[in-house]
Amino acid sequence: MDHNEEQKALFFDIDGTILSELNGTIPESAKAAIGAAVREGHLAFINTGRTLCTIPAEVRNMDFVGFLCGCGTDIICRGERIFSRDVPEAEGRPLLDLITRCNMDAVLEGRNSIYFRDHSSRFPEVTAIYGASARNVDVHVGWENVYPEFSKLIVFGDKDSQDEAFCQGAAEWFDVVCRGGQFYELVPKNHSKAAVIDYVLKHFNIRLENAWVFGDSANDLSMFEAVPNAVAMGKHDDVLTPHASYITETVENDGLYLAMVKLGLIPEIAGFSI
């Protein structure tokens, strides 16, 4: 089958790319840009580390053809789930034991629920996530007792943790991404934002040179390395810079819209300035 010579596939991170991490909102310019891309005939996808249940309703209600969730562990296109992988107990149970032995804490992320070890944690990050999630996500407590259905996780350490031992032990089953300080994101091996792009491009028969990625954080690195057209937001992790083909403004300063217009992906839209 011949490739679609014109159609482009656009892949967007959420936090810091579409959704402002300063005020928790999506700029109207970003909504307009995504809508314009769809009208131009492009396929727009969310490509996120978030699992489906933690994607805000405002994002899910936008004009995306698909949601590539949990760093490639769950794929929903046009409302249909076409791929999904949970961490089997044979891999997950040793990891949970390792978290305990290394004196760390974690949030386990599944398609439908997220899981905590306890209501209270000495890690303020875990406590904050629990407080924010309990309002709008299905939350379970006590993952050390009943094995949870999860596809990826985030892990936190502090001065009393054995981070190096944990990372070495976890590397048997997971790719460990350091998100800064003692904050780690763990994804099952052979799953990533890059691997899921390859899957989608083949599924829709789109050439690699017609793929564009937009992101800002270290867990976007794999897709920046995999795709020639990589747009970094104005505020982004330094690790992305060598792989960015274009650097735009911040999300709050209409960075997504500005990049898509200047790169010829969409026309200018009345009411938004260049």
Q: Would you state the pLDDT for residue 3?
A: 46
Tokens coding 157: 């350490």
Query: Listing from the earlier edge strand, what are the strands of the sheet with 152-156?
Result: 139-141, 114-116, 105-109, 152-156, 183-188, 174-178
Per CATH, domain 89-188 is 3.30.450.20: no
Q: How far apart are CA 204 and CA 44, in angstroms?
A: 12
Average confidence (pLDDT) per 10 residues, the chain, 274 residues = 70 96 94 96 96 94 95 94 94 94 96 90 93 89 89 96 96 90 93 94 95 94 96 96 97 96 95 81
Q: Would you state the pLDDT for residue 6?
A: 77
Structure letter (DSSP) for residue 266: S
* Span(s) in the chain for CATH 3.40.50.1000: 9-84+191-262
* Span(s) in the chain for CATH 3.30.1240.10: 89-188
Query: If residue 41 lies in a helix (H) or strand (E), which one and from where to where?
Result: none
Q: Which CATH superfamily hosts domain 9-84+191-262?
A: HAD superfamily/HAD-like (3.40.50.1000)
Nearest to 134 by CA among 106, 104, 154, 114: 114
Q: Would you state the pLDDT for residue 115?
A: 96
Determine the angle formed by the axes of helices 89-101 and 163-170, rounding to 10 degrees.
Answer: 170
